[in-house]
Amino acid sequence: MTAITVTVLGATGLTGGKVVDGLLARDEVASVVMPVRRAADRQHPKLMQWEVDFDRLDDHADLFKTDVIVCCLGTTIRKAGSQQTFRKVDYGYPLKAAELGRSQGARAFVLMSAIASSSSSTVFYNRVKGELEDSVSSLGYPFLSIYRPSLLLGDRKEHRTAEALGMKAMPLINRALFGPLEKYRGIEADTVARAMVNEVCGLSLTSDGEDAVRIHEYPDIVALAE
């Protein structure tokens, strides 16, 4: 089987960095393209890192001429400073990347979204995530995979007070969430990354069948990671 090429967005974040590590370790992957705002201190024979202006992604269309695009871009409204900036980072950049990938021949898009995302939600964060899902779904990728984790657990480079408190309480909360509520369990970023890597490396990109959209929540993500 021919090894695949993958572009990873959000590669310096909690989950995206682990996705890059996982992809580089797999024989199924020939190369990983990593567009970043600022160069990260990491090197690997299969890694191609590029500093880009995310407001001018059209100038870097060739970076999306790969088999698969994995998007783990995301911020918080507090860090973004405004709803407008949050929407640009969590909706505008991922959608532009998806559009460029589709125009460059990418056959699969793997999107990090969030639990309870819905374009009809009254919660701004969930609504933006849902609108992105809808917009990317309309592009006609042969394969689209949407991940909807709840609270992501792991060591972040920046401190997020609310999430830090949530992580401390999550082991107790998780034990109380089962059945239909299981999807709201907190999940390790490493688990999400392993699931994404396993799915990407298991894709059949030679099929010309109907568009496939998969949505993964807690139980599916855990199963894919194993």
Task: Write down the catalytic residue from 93, 129, 184, 218.
Answer: 129
Query: Cα(first)–Cα(last) distance of the chain, in Å?
Result: 23
Please name every residue paired with 26 in a beta bridge, in sequence order, or none if there are none: none
Buried residues in 53-70 as b, exposed as e (16+ CB within 10 A) = ebeebeebeebbebbbbb
How many Å separate Cα 61 from the centre of its chain?
19
Which residue has tokens 């870097």? 60
The verdict on whether 184 is a catalytic residue reads: no
Both tokens assigned to 221: 């993500």
Between CA 62 and CA 164 the distance in angstroms is: 38
Task: Write down the catalytic residue from 46, 65, 88, 125.
Answer: 125
The verdict on whether 79 is a catalytic residue reads: no
User: Active-site residues: which are they?
Assistant: 125, 129
